[in-house]
Chains A and B, each alone.
Chain A
Amino acid sequence: MESGAYGWMDLLRESREDVLVRWARLVERNLGDRLTAAELDHDIREIFDLLLAGAGTDAAGALSGASYDELRSLLAELSSTRARQGFSPTETAISIFALKEAVLGVLEAHEDLRGYQAFANLSRLVDDLGLFMLESYAAARDRVIAEQAETLLELATPVVKLWDGVVALPLVGTLDSARTQVVMEALLQALVDTGSEHAIIDITGVPAVDTQVAQHLLKTVQAARLLGADCIISGIRPQIAQTVVGLGIEFGDIHTKASLSDALLLALRRSGFDLVPRNGRSGS
């Protein structure tokens, strides 16, 4: 850019307050009820000043350049915050696109031809800024989704203590590798935390088991043994039994029971308890 040529930075500097007022009004129209005027004003001024600082004297400098580091940082944070607050992508980007409209408004009011040429460069930059904000927004939303998925996983691992020394893990729904791993880790931790020597993994509510899940189950039983506890797998439906055999998976010496109650009886017996009916007849 030749020195002395009129750049958009000059345009912005000359019409600073005019642009800022119009800009604020436009953003307020879209976000007015969600943000206070003070917040709005503060955000806009910060963007404005960093935009000018980043441009320096180069009207055609790329947004990715080092001079715009601070501006990008600010916009990334802004997008991230808006994403977490539940604003839509458009509502987030509008803050920056409104700048163009504000500047156009100033040019129309002053019938400034020089300004229109400068505007072309600004327009380009603002478009890039808008896209950048959208990218940051998307990344922030992805992070929120990932965190929620993790929370869901944690909530969905119910390990219940059935008796002193006996915990149960009723699995429900389709198991995928990731969920199975998390759930099994929770079971092992529960064994240690409750000081239980028996775990019942009930898969009544699991419609299908594939090789990976079956292997995770096997590994969990092996790990439980290393801890000093034992596992019983209950609720194996005929279809699953067939799948397991078909896959060539050996359950070896792992105890399996058809029902959760049978498994509980077994676990209790191994813990040294017997169930005795009250009328005096000894239990079977």
Chain B
Amino acid sequence: MSHQSTDTAEPLVLASEADVVRVRQAVRAAAVAATFSLVDQTKLVTATSELARNTLVYGGGGRVLVQTVDRDRRRGVLVEFVDEGPGIPDVDLAMTDGWTSGSGLGLGLSGAKRLVDEFDLETAPGKGTSVRVTKWKR
């Protein structure tokens, strides 16, 4: 069974606002290819927008990898955001609803987490941040 690959073979660069748009489009394409419902597409792309913005604004830019994944005959989309920025000092605090930092914009992590099925965050001060999210076809 062959299908058009929407996987980004190499990570997408995330260095500007225009890149955020590109990343959203790449994730949308993958979700469509995985035959997600419109609501699930919207949730995943919105989560992507939140996380991409974090990577850009707080991480100082980074890269995004979009992959189609299969597990137990279910299809899903995996998106990974990586930056070599300052890292998040207090993850528990950052994951609280309504947490804001500096410019008054929340990190949106908890919201993004609710939009996806799997959410994995790795970070350490000075070591950058990596967020992996997966959404499965319902």
Contacts and interface: CB of A to CB of B under 8 A. Distances in A.
Contacts of B71: none
Contacts of A139: 73
A95 to B, nearest CB: 21
A139 B1 CA distance: 13
Interface residues of A, number: 4
B33 to A, nearest CB: 17
Nearest to A77: B1
Main secondary structure of the interface of B (DSSP, over half): loop
A178 B39 CA distance: 13
A111 interface: no
A139 B73 CA distance: 8
A185 interface: yes
Contacts of A142: 73
Interface in B31-69: 37, 39
Contacts of B37: 185
B138 interface: yes
B39 A185 contact: yes
What range describes how many residues of B lie at the interface? under 10
A185 B138 CA distance: 14
A178 B137 CA distance: 12
Interface string B78-106: 00000000000000000000000000000
Contacts of B138: 178
Interface in A176-201: 178, 185
Contacts of B39: 185
Contacts of B73: 139, 142
A263 to B, nearest CB: 26
Interface string A205-219: 000000000000000
A65 to B, nearest CB: 19
A139 B138 CA distance: 17
A192 B37 CA distance: 18
A178 B37 CA distance: 13
Nearest to A73: B1
A129 B46 CA distance: 45
Contacts of A178: 138
Interface string A135-154: 00001001000000000000
A185 B73 CA distance: 25
A178 B138 CA distance: 8
A216 B120 CA distance: 25
Interface in B103-138: 138
B39 to A, nearest CB: 6
5 contacts: A139-B73, A142-B73, A178-B138, A185-B37, A185-B39
Which 5 residue pairs across A and B have the least CB separation, nearest first?
A: A185-B39, A139-B73, A142-B73, A178-B138, A185-B37
